A and B are shown apart, each in its own frame.
Chain A
Amino acid sequence: MNVPSDLRYAKTHEWIRHEDDSITVGITDHAQAELTDIVYAEPPKVGAELKAGATAAVVESVKAASDIYSPLSGVVTEVNEALTANPALLNTDPFGQGWIYRMKASNIAEIEALLTPDAYSAQIGQ
């Protein structure tokens, strides 16, 4: 499984990319492989205030609906509209075109509580 070295990870299989002021959030390669066949994505609303660890989005495979938890607290600034028409992007490009939302973090120090790529790799057993 791909675990990019420039990202941080939540135990619940979300990743964040920190660029300037903006945090991009998605699900990991491991998560999409476990979910398989993602057929629906419900991202948060722009402007929504999220708490770290609280449900931010829902993605659904044919078999099950899965909550996506926000790795950080903050406000949603942008959502990936492409997922509405093409939720399979979550399967095919989870770290790229399959991103779910962008946010402005309210407490950037929360990043320190997230897993490093090595720690996340260990968690998923590789």
Chain B
Amino acid sequence: MSDPMTLKHSPLESCHLACGARMVEFGGWLMPVQYTGIMDEHRAVRSGSGMFDISHMGEVLIEGSGALEWLERLLTNRVGKLAIGRGQYTMMLNERGGVIDDLIIYRTGETAYFLVINGACRDMDLAWMRSRLPADGTVLLRDLGNDYAAIALQGPDSEKVLRTLYPQSEIPKRNGIATLGESEGFVPSLVARTGYTGEDGFELFVPVKDGSKEGNGESLWKSLLAAGVKPCGLGARDTLRLEMGYPLNGSDLSLDRTPLEAGLGKFVALDDPAKIEFTGRHALESQRSKGLPSLLTPLKLTVTGPPLRSHYPVLSEGLAVGETCSGALSPSLGEGIAMAYLPPSLSTPGTALEVEVRGRGYAAVVTTLPFYSK
């Protein structure tokens, strides 16, 4: 755990405490892990609506005549495909093809892009990006991470809730972004139809401080609460995202694994003739021609067993062949589920394996993603 004196605090911390949150350290931030309980919160998002404080995530604005070309070199997906108001999942790699971060990039203007990066690697991401900015001033980077409070409103009732709160606002389509209400100014309130739960939902970015008639982070939290949205912590966020097979940077993604190993090849525009050179491309091409050393593989227990967690050994015919990087007892399925980097020969669905927990092997099988679908 980090030194409590250096922990970063969310602008919504007082809201969490008022809602009875249990706070934990996460990636250098003091954040709510749960309020009433992970199962309860998980179910609220699958069946109604829940909200997560995602203010620890970073927001970065990239602007300028050189922005598109610079972003194409920085990121794996083809930024040039984005129409104004649209977003895409993408990754930022090092020269070895390792994942520095996975992120969502939205095009918010002719030459303006809004990036949402992971909370635990904000500083590293920003340093990496700044070190690559051209000297001629054609690309401007603005770190808005401390200007925005952010709340993810997730669940099948999300649109209804949003329409009640912002009847005049444009509601974007899936993966789209729009200004929230009539917001304008240096830190405009934004609404993106994205999330990390597999449900319909929105990510709302509002100024930390007052100054917008759409309100600030705390007033948005309170409005959502009054509309019956259930506060949900990082615990439920983790089980929800894992049921969908969405990777978590730091657990499933790292500087030592490539997007191809992580099964995220469709977010890497290796074969798009319009995609120019990007950092990590050569490493990925070389890995693809030689064959992948490992593949991020979904598995589930076929017997009743303890909840799966990270760093449990995965066995094939008694021999260790990898370890789990994410794991949980899926609240929706009631089954142990996990992700593990395994030799590709063992990643075919149906392959029988074992997961070892406290010295005892539990039968498991390779399955397909998502773990959970309605």
Q: Which residues of A contact B (CB under 8 A)?
A: 36-37, 39-40, 42, 58, 60-63, 65, 84
Q: Can you identify 15 A-B contacts, CB atoms within 8 angstroms?
A: A37-B37, A37-B38, A39-B329, A40-B305, A40-B307, A58-B358, A60-B329, A61-B38, A62-B235, A62-B328, A62-B331, A63-B33, A63-B235, A65-B306, A84-B304
Docked complex Cα distance between A61 and B307 (Å):
8
> With A60-B306, A62-B235, A62-B307 in contact, do A42 and B358 touch (Cβ < 8 Å)?
yes
- With a cutoff of 8 Å between Cβ atoms, the chain B residues found around residue A37 in the complex are 37-40
Closest chain B residue to A59 by CB distance?
A: B306
Chain B residues contacting A58 (CB-CB under 8 Å) are 306, 358
Q: A39 CA to B38 CA in the complex, in Å?
A: 11
Closest to A41 in B: B306
- CA distance in complex: A84, B329 (Å): 15
Give A84 to B306 CA distance when docked, in angstroms. 10
Question: Does residue B309 face the partner (Cβ distance < 8 Å to A)?
Answer: yes
Contact in complex: B38, A40 (CB < 8 Å): no
Number of A-B contacts (CB under 8 A): 38
Residue of A nearest to B239 (CB): A62
Measured between alpha carbons, how far is A8 from B233 in the docked complex, in Å?
35
- The residue on A at minimum CB distance from B33 is A63
Using Cβ atoms and an 8 Å threshold, which residues of chain A touch B329?
39-40, 60, 62
B34 at the interface (CB under 8 A from A): yes
CA distance in complex: A60, B309 (Å): 11
Tell me the complex Cα distance, A102–B34, Å.
33
A36 to B33, CA, bound (A): 12
**Which residue of the partner chain A has the closest CB to B336?**
A40
Q: Which residues of A sit under 8 angstroms from B239, Cβ to Cβ?
A: 62
Contact A36 B307 (CB under 8 A): no
> In B337-374, which residues have CB < 8 Å from any A CB?
358
Q: Are B358 and A63 in contact (CB under 8 A)?
A: no
Whether the pair A40, B235 counts as a contact (CB closer than 8 A) is no
Contact (A42, B235) CB under 8 Å given A58-B358, A62-B331:
no
Structural contact, A36 and B38, CB atoms closer than 8 A: yes
Inter-chain contact A62/B38, CB cutoff 8 Å: yes
Report the separation of the CA atoms of residues A42 and B309 in the bound assembly, to the nearest whole angstrom: 16
Q: Nearest residue in B to A34 (C-beta to C-beta)?
A: B22
The CA-CA distance from A36 to B40 in the complex, in Å, is: 11
Query: Taking the nearest CB of chain A, how far is it from the CB of B265, in angstroms?
Result: 31
CA distance A62 to B39 in the complex (A): 8
Interface residues of B in 290-334 (CB under 8 A from A): 304-307, 309, 328-329, 331
- Residues of A with C-beta under 8 A to B38: 36-37, 61-63
Of B33, B235, B307, which one neighbours A60 at CB under 8 angstroms?
B307
A36, A60, A62, A65, most chain B CB atoms within 10 A: A62
B334 to chain A: closest residue by CB: A39
Besides A39-B329, A40-B306, 11 more A-B contacts (Cβ < 8 Å) are A36-B38, A37-B37, A40-B307, A58-B358, A62-B39, A62-B235, A62-B239, A62-B328, A63-B34, A63-B38, A65-B309
Q: Which residue of B lies closest to A40 (CB)?
A: B306
Most buried by B among A37, A42, A65: A37
9 closest residue pairs by CB, A with B: A62-B38, A40-B306, A37-B37, A63-B235, A37-B39, A36-B37, A60-B307, A39-B329, A60-B306
- Chain A residues with Cβ under 8 A from B307's Cβ? 39-40, 60, 62, 65
Q: Which residues of A contact B328 (CB under 8 A)?
A: 62
Chain B residues with CB under 8 Å of A63's CB are 33-34, 38, 235
Contact of B34 among A36, A40, A60, A65 (CB under 8 A): A36
Quote the shortest CB–CB distance from B216 to chain A (angstroms). 30
How many angstroms between the C-alpha atoms of A69 and B72 in the bound complex?
A: 55
Which chain B residues in 1-54 approach chain A with CB under 8 Å?
33-34, 37-40
Which B-chain residue is minimally distant from A85 (CB atoms)? B304
Q: How far is the CA of A40 from the CA of B303 in the complex (A)?
A: 13
Measured between alpha carbons, how far is A119 from B329 in the docked complex, in Å? 36
Tell me the complex Cα distance, A58–B309, Å. 14
CB distance from A78 to the nearest CB of B (A): 21
| A53 nearest CB across to chain B (Å) | 19
